[in-house]
Each structure stands twice: as C-alpha cells, then as structure tokens.
Structure 1
Amino acid sequence: MLNGIHHAAIICSDYEKSKDFYTRILGFKVVAENYRADRDSHKLDLALADGTQIELFSFPSAPKRPSYPEAQGLRHLAFTVENVEAVCHHLASLGVEVEPIRVDEFTGKQFTFISDPDDLPLELYQHN
C-alpha cells in the first residue's frame, strides 16, 4: 500500500540561510524553486540521490517550533549515511555543531544529531 516517504515539509525562519544549509552543507539538489507573492512565501523542492525530498517553505511570522523539552509530534528527521564519523568530520569542518557519536542499543549502529538553522533535529544514522 505505502511505498516510501516522498518528502518532508519544513518551514524555516530564514529562507536563504536554510537554503544554503540544505544545499551547500548537506548536499541536497534543487528540484524546483518558487516564490508565491500572494503569500510572501518561498517553496524550495530539494532532493537526495535516492529521490527523497524536502519541501522547504518560508512564511512570514511563522511561530517557532516547540522542541525542548521535546514536544509531541515529529521528533526528528533521520538520514542514512555510509560513515557517520566521516560525515561528522566533514560537517564540523563546515562549522556545523555535531553531537558526540552514539551507538543504537538495539541495532548496534552508530548515529548522531545535528540541527538545521531553526534547531530542527536531524539524525545521521550509519547505513551499514
């Protein structure tokens, strides 16, 4: 019935800053970029190599996301990586704050977290 996740939608506070983070820092490719004047809103469709997408929106005066302590709802987005340690070193070299690497107690896989410009938690999970 369901085949996979097509996209996650994110509302950002600073469109240019978030666009830079998701494209230059994380390596998403721009699929489409639109501005809706009637809403004063940008919509940026971004994709990873496997086709997974993020829709990045900007809306004037959008409220901040409740996060800490953790609120109900979406907890974080998780991305698979081949080598958590290598990705962490790369992101740190670009100025991204990376949490210490942990090991999933159930799978034995390494993972860690970073935050996007609006403090949305993003997990990096070792694929193999």
Structure 2
Amino acid sequence: MLKLNRVHHIAIICSDYQKSKQFYVEVLGLTIVGEVYREQRQSYKLDLAVGNLYQIELFSFPDPPARPSRPEAAGLRHLAFEVDDLDEAVAHITSFDVEVEPIRVDEFTGKRFTFFADPDGLPLEFYEV
C-alpha cells in the first residue's frame, strides 16, 4: 500500500512576481527559505515556509495564462491556512487593504472560516481551529 507522509509543497504561478512576493511575505508573514532566478526560463522561484510543516513555491513565468474562473474551475479550488484566531488574522490582512468575505461557520465542524484572494485572484482561506 502506498504511504504518503504529508504534502511536501504547493506550487503557485503568479503574474506579478514582486507583488505576489510582497503579499505572501509581508501580508501573510511567510518566511523566505530560498530565492533563485532561473535565467533560461526567465523565472523566479521563491520557497516560502508556512510554520514548520509546509512549503509554498512561488513561481513567475513570462505571460502565464489566467485562471479559468473563480471559484469553481476544475482543479485546485482554494488553499486554506489554519489559524488560531480568525478575528486577529482578518484584522491583520485587512490592514493591508485585502478584501475578506464575511466570516462563515462550517455546518459540519462548527469552525469559523473566511475567504480572500491573492494578487492573482487565487482563492485563499483562513480556517480557525
């Protein structure tokens, strides 16, 4: 039987590297693990730590195609970040003028959550534990 240990990384392709780098590092507070520019691909690769468990790889490529639609396009629906205090997380990102949907309650778990978007419109979620 196949044994998967955990998610190793999540790769995101952005349209404006500097804007997305600022969002993920300054707004969301992720830690830069490494950054390289790959000349032959005209592409940056930024490795970001999420706590001590996961890593996001932020890529830039010349003229990437736009996401088909939001939020119900086939493929990745959204990326959720676990937070201890949803109100604090929302207050933090709204101080950077990030628009946040109204807080909802998961009907099955009773937990609170909300959605917002990165600079390219990728749906992101804060889920309170």
**Same-fold call, TM cutoff 0.5:** yes
Residue 47 of structure 1 is matched in structure 2 by 49
Amino acid at match of 1:83: D
Deviation digits for residues 70-125 of structure 1, max 9, x if unmatched?
21111000110001111111111121111110000000000000100000000100
- Residue in 1 that maps onto 2:122: 120
Return 5+ residue gaps in structure 1 as ranges.
none
State the percentage of identical aligned residues: 62
1:20 to 16, 19, 22: 22
In structure 2, runs of 5+ residues without a counterpart are: none
Question: Following TM superposition, by how much is the alpha carbon of 1:8 offset from its aligned partner in structure 2, in angstroms?
Answer: 0.5
Q: Which residue of the other structure, out of 68, 73, 76, is the alignment partner of 1:74?
A: 76
Alpha-carbon separation, structure 1, partners of 2:71 and 2:4: 32
Spell out, residue by residue over 1:20-48, the C-alpha distance to the aligned partner (whole angstroms, 9 max, x if none): 00000001100110001111000000002
Structure 1: which 4+ aligned runs deviate by more than 2 Å? none
Q: CA RMSD in A?
A: 0.9
Q: What code does the residue aligned with 1:100 have? A: P
Q: Cα–Cα, structure 1 residues 69 and 85, in superposed 2: closer, same or farther, change >3 Å?
A: closer
Q: CA deviation at 1:69?
A: 5.8
Q: How much does 1:68 deviate?
A: 2.8
1:65 maps to what in 2?
67
SS in structure 1 at match of 2:18: helix
Q: Distance in 1 between matches of 2:70 and 2:34?
A: 32
**Aligned counterpart for 1:92 among listed residues 80, 91, 94:** 94
Number of residue equivalences: 127
Q: What TM-score comes out, normalization by structure 1 length?
A: 0.96
SS in 1 for 2:92: helix
The 2-side partners of 1:64 and 1:23 are apart by: 23
